[in-house]
Amino acid sequence: MPSSGSPRRQRLSLAAVILGAAIVPFGLRAVNAVTRPPGAEPSYIPSVESPRVRGPFDREAVEALREAANDVILIGDSMAGTRIHPGHLSRLMGGRGAAALFHPGSGPAYWYLTFKNLVVNAGLHPRTAVFFFRDENLTDTLFRVYPSALDRVARQREPVLDELLAARANGRYFRVHRILTRLYGHDQARAWLEPLIVRAPVAWSATRRARKRLLERINNEVFTLDALRPMAAADMASASGEALDFRRNLPTSVLPEILRLSHSSGIRVAFVRVQRRPGPDGPPPQSAALRAYVGALRAYLEENGALFHDDWGDPDQPLSIYEDGDHIAREYRLHCTELFFRKNPEVFR
């Protein structure tokens, strides 16, 4: 063992290093203060987000919806976006309007806020709101909690959603994570540092647009689900374990709240589970756990007066109509819209 310095000085030096490890990260707050644009305010979901500058609520969308007075409101992500053409659906409905509130890369938190703030609380009275989702997405509240999307549909405070997110993120890990985040503000530093690193290797590209385009092409053309080995694609496409325990996830999901809003507003809700990318010989494989999950979801929704439709195994949606991953090719969008109209008569009754 080294005998450098007195024991007391050695202990002080140990304390100095431990303190250094604890104190230096506070420097991130100083960095944040420099890099943070003015106008940061507490988040509407403070349990999982630090103060930041938020984007504006989309009032124009509310006005447009109010003016159109649609019969059916469609809510979902790119799965719905590549399958449903709202104009064509309106024509199929005989002129009664269908409005699409799709946002690519959105999740259940976004869908819930859209329904609550753009439809129910805006005083609209469509007959039906239809939610499109994949597998266990509906009950995975933390799936795609992206501020850039949520800002457009969130009010100043969203206590119900915040409580659900807090409950979902209430493990020991999340509690420690929250404490550290509040102490050091490293999530704010990450918000600007990580994109900087991810974009740095394409810095040679002449314009910001060219850089963005290249990153999009790498994601959408090189690393598509199609390009993966079958096992890897299956692993990536399928949820497992606790995510497929419907009863466990229901209390911390937005589903009961959507149904409560539906009952209080008199707007009927329908849920469509879109089919993931099928294999060359048939529909995509489903684990026993996923089948059990879907069964429990269907039973719960039907018990609570909601409509449910499952696209899985639809022979009219073969592999040939798919483009990348679970997206449908553009030329089959009208075909899928017609399928949706034909196979969900209750929605349009």
Segment near other proteins (CB under 8 A); pick from 4-12, 42-50, 54-62, 102-110: 4-12
Q: Which two tokens stand for residue 278?
A: 């099928």
Closer to other proteins by CB, 37 or 171: give it. 171
Q: Could you say whether residue 170 binds other proteins (CB under 8 A)?
A: no
Q: Could you say whether residue 232 binds other proteins (CB under 8 A)?
A: yes
The H-or-E segment that residue 108 falls in is: helix 108-113
* x/- map, 265-304, other proteins, by CB under 8 A: ----------------------------------------
Among positions 53, 223, 251, 313, the unique one binding other proteins when judged by CB under 8 A: 223
Q: Could you say whether residue 206 binds other proteins (CB under 8 A)?
A: no
CB of 280 to other proteins, least distance (A): 14
Closer to other proteins by CB, 34 or 200: give it. 200
Q: Could you say whether residue 19 binds other proteins (CB under 8 A)?
A: yes
**Nearest-angstrom CA–CA distance, 190 and 274:** 34
CB of 176 to other proteins, least distance (A): 6
Among positions 56, 67, 156, 200, the unique one binding other proteins when judged by CB under 8 A: 200
**Nearest-angstrom CA–CA distance, 215 and 201:** 10
Q: Could you say whether residue 24 binds other proteins (CB under 8 A)?
A: yes
User: Is the dihedral angle over the CA atoms 337, 76, 218, 36 positive or is it negative?
Assistant: positive
Largest interatomic CA distance in the chain: 90
CB of 191 to other proteins, least distance (A): 10
Q: Which two tokens stand for residue 223?
A: 């690393």
User: Is the dihedral angle over the CA atoms 25, 26, 31, 36 positive or is it negative?
Assistant: positive
Which amino acid, residue 161? Answer: L
Among positions 14, 30, 64, 319, the unique one binding other proteins when judged by CB under 8 A: 14
Closer to other proteins by CB, 180 or 299: give it. 180
Closer to other proteins by CB, 64 or 236: give it. 236
Q: Are strands 268-273 and 128-133 parallel, antiparallel or unpaired?
A: parallel
Among positions 53, 198, 299, 319, the unique one binding other proteins when judged by CB under 8 A: 198
**Nearest-angstrom CA–CA distance, 164 and 170:** 10
- Residue with the two structure tokens 């005989």: 94
CB of 3 to other proteins, least distance (A): 8
Report long-range pairs for 38-45 (Cβ below 8 Å, ≥24 apart): 43/147, 44/150, 44/154, 44/155, 44/156, 44/157, 44/158, 44/161, 44/162, 45/109, 45/145, 45/150, 45/154, 45/158, 45/161, 45/162, 45/165
Segment near other proteins (CB under 8 A); pick from 227-235, 237-245, 283-291, 329-337: 227-235
**Nearest-angstrom CA–CA distance, 47 and 32:** 20
Count how many Cα atoms sit within 13 Å of the Cα of residue 49 in the half-sphere of its side chain: 25
Q: Could you say whether residue 229 binds other proteins (CB under 8 A)?
A: yes
Q: 106 to 165, contacts with other proteins by CB under 8 A? A: none
**Nearest-angstrom CA–CA distance, 253 and 111:** 12
CB of 192 to other proteins, least distance (A): 10
Q: Could you say whether residue 22 binds other proteins (CB under 8 A)?
A: yes
Among positions 40, 228, 237, 296, the unique one binding other proteins when judged by CB under 8 A: 228
Residues of this chain that interact with other proteins (CB under 8 A) are 1-5, 7, 9-11, 13-14, 16-25, 27-28, 172-173, 176, 180, 184, 186, 189-190, 193-194, 197-198, 200-202, 214-215, 217-218, 221-223, 227-229, 232-233, 236
